[in-house]
Chain A
């Protein structure tokens, strides 16, 4: 793993839906680290729990969702059990979020300038005119033309790509150390997607901001993330440098996922398909959750839950992965 002390440490995190009648586990023991300034991708299909990881880190879980176990540390300090008010202060100042739909992050009845200035005043020492200047500077940095004039515009007066730039400016306003970006480019056209990806990468490099990039799109991960964690049925089944995971996936699910992605210029008569579907949270089988769909399944997989193991920062939760001790 990385030698630098981690900015964010997630240890054996469990998240569940708790109602009066039952408790359904959604995350079932997720562990990962994010180093300062790195971009960690979390990739998975719908229902894998990838967004839940982001919500837990940012303290945005609302009942009936609860943290049912494990811990989250930010800059060495435990944050999963903080009171709401302290968590709210941390969010925005040190941890910011970017969501798929920019309109959910922007207030439609206030100007962009007011929203930016408010965030800047809340989280930095800049006030009044200085905050407004900083707001214009942020808009310029995210590539919005005529930034000083655009401060007076409302969110609906921007195009989709420009709106997502405003959201990025808003996320950067508190000078956070970590940004949790949940599907930040999914709602955008492909030609605009690239603009936002390169913008995010450049800004995070400049500011030394770390990013947890949550997406279903392995292409976005390849373009942006230095490391990637693959989520399946509430667990991380593989984690490692993006280059290694793509070139040499160690978990059968990751292999199946990569092979099912059509690529331009790779003519295959049929795409590789993974039979079946991911189990619902209420019906996760014992042992390895991927066992019922796995082409290499063994008897042991249906009984024993494999844990992440590997070398050189590349680990997989599979009894057949290299570096895993035999039974």
Chain B
């Protein structure tokens, strides 16, 4: 088996959320840490798409930021082509440009004072991907066409575009750096559904054309089902289930995965009543002991309340549940 393009091992990321020192001394409280990512492993082969799915506070965006080298992990490793991410992302590294990121908010991630052409040309110039001004211009025009914009759009500013077109510009900028891995953090969550369809189709086309690898972060299971070939479900900083897409959607093993699927709003069943999942995601600063899902789980036993289940092989994928066998 060939080595994966991205290999994440036992990744931890904790944030210090302590009160200021004086307040701590007065109240007698110690330091408090929020373990946003609490030991996760995954790998993505070149050309594949792994989706990280979960609700707010599950740590999926923190994983994205660690992979993109935007925040250093507390422990564990992120290996890109076998090299530690800190080295890959260091200025001057020949691999640096290969990892690009697309964010949820296309308004906040583009420089409003730069014409689109400059935004897209910037990585080309910085990386020296084109030798002359004319070639830079040609390359920008070609990329804008690739993402469904017109070469003439290079002269415009971001505010002159709709949300969907701005996300196309963000994709164009990522493409300009000739990336291999694109980390997509909720890339269509802020978009209308008809526009979401345009962007998802575009991302699939570009993946096929350029052999791109995606780490795709989303809370929307239907979008994940459409985009991913492998899925990891996160809950409170841990992966609770991971499998290839077909296995996961056909036979979800973890009660939380089932809860998520049962809550997804489809068009198929108008007015149908369903089993409503109970409770909400607990505060990650103070996670429940044992299996962190146990307070919401309909199948929880005494074991679940005390002992955290390990992620283990089960039914074609891996699941972190003590009772996966008996749940069938």
Q: Are B270 and A242 in contact (CB under 8 A)?
A: yes
Contact residues in A for B164 (Cβ distance below 8 Å): 277
Distance between B166 CB and nearest chain A CB, rounded to angstroms:
11
Q: Are A189 and B56 in contact (CB under 8 A)?
A: yes
Distance between A158 CB and nearest chain B CB, rounded to angstroms:
10
Is B201 in contact with chain A by the CB < 8 A criterion? yes
Is B286 in contact with chain A by the CB < 8 A criterion? no
CA distance A222 to B162 in the complex (A): 28
Selected from A191, A243, A264, A272, the residue in CB contact (under 8 A) with B266 is A264
Known interface pairs A191-B55, A191-B260, A191-B280; A222-B192 also in contact (CB < 8 Å):
no
CA distance A277 to B272 in the complex (A): 33
CA distance A160 to B57 in the complex (A): 12
CA distance A193 to B221 in the complex (A): 14
* Interface residues in B136-186 (C-beta closer than 8 Å to A): 162-165
Q: Are B265 and A220 in contact (CB under 8 A)?
A: yes
Selected from B192, B268, B277, the residue in CB contact (under 8 A) with A216 is B192
Contact residues in B for A159 (Cβ distance below 8 Å): 280
Contact residues in B for A191 (Cβ distance below 8 Å): 55, 259-260, 263, 277, 280-281
Is A219 in contact with chain B by the CB < 8 A criterion? yes
Q: Are B193 and A260 in contact (CB under 8 A)?
A: yes
Q: Are B193 and A270 in contact (CB under 8 A)?
A: no
Selected from B198, B271, B280, the residue in CB contact (under 8 A) with A222 is B271
Interface residues of chain B, those whose CB is within 8 Å of chain A, are: 55-56, 162-165, 192-198, 200-201, 204, 219-223, 225-226, 249, 259-274, 276-278, 280-281
| A-B pairs with beta carbons under 8 Å apart, 16 shown | A45-B193, A160-B280, A190-B265, A191-B277, A193-B265, A217-B265, A222-B265, A243-B271, A246-B267, A257-B193, A260-B193, A260-B197, A262-B223, A271-B197, A271-B226, A273-B201
Q: Are A246 and B270 in contact (CB under 8 A)?
A: yes
Is A195 in contact with chain B by the CB < 8 A criterion? yes
Contact residues in A for B263 (Cβ distance below 8 Å): 190-191, 193-194
Known interface pairs A45-B193, A261-B222, A265-B225; A192-B280 also in contact (CB < 8 Å):
yes
Known interface pairs A191-B55, A260-B194; A270-B280 also in contact (CB < 8 Å):
no
Nearest B residue to A44 by beta-carbon distance?
B192
Q: Are A198 and B276 in contact (CB under 8 A)?
A: yes
Distance between B190 CB and nearest chain A CB, rounded to angstroms:
10
Contact residues in A for B268 (Cβ distance below 8 Å): 222, 263
CA distance A218 to B194 in the complex (A): 12
Contact residues in A for B198 (Cβ distance below 8 Å): 273
Q: Are A270 and B201 in contact (CB under 8 A)?
A: yes
Q: Are A218 and B226 in contact (CB under 8 A)?
A: no
B-contact bits for A208-233, CB 8 A (1 contact / 0 none)? 00000000111110111010000000
Contact residues in A for B277 (Cβ distance below 8 Å): 191, 194-195
Q: Are A45 and B192 in contact (CB under 8 A)?
A: yes
Selected from B204, B219, B225, B273, the residue in CB contact (under 8 A) with A190 is B219
Q: Are B280 and A189 in contact (CB under 8 A)?
A: yes
B-contact bits for A252-266, CB 8 A (1 contact / 0 none)? 000011101111110
Q: Are B276 and A195 in contact (CB under 8 A)?
A: yes
Distance between A218 CB and nearest chain B CB, rounded to angstroms:
6
Q: Are A222 and B219 in contact (CB under 8 A)?
A: no
Distance between A40 CB and nearest chain B CB, rounded to angstroms:
14
Distance between B297 CB and nearest chain A CB, rounded to angstroms:
12
Contact residues in B for A153 (Cβ distance below 8 Å): none
CA distance A189 to B266 in the complex (A): 15
List the 6 shortest-distance A-B pairs measured between CB atoms, nearest first.
A219-B265, A260-B197, A45-B192, A271-B197, A189-B55, A191-B277
Contact residues in B for A272 (Cβ distance below 8 Å): 197
Contact residues in A for B274 (Cβ distance below 8 Å): 194
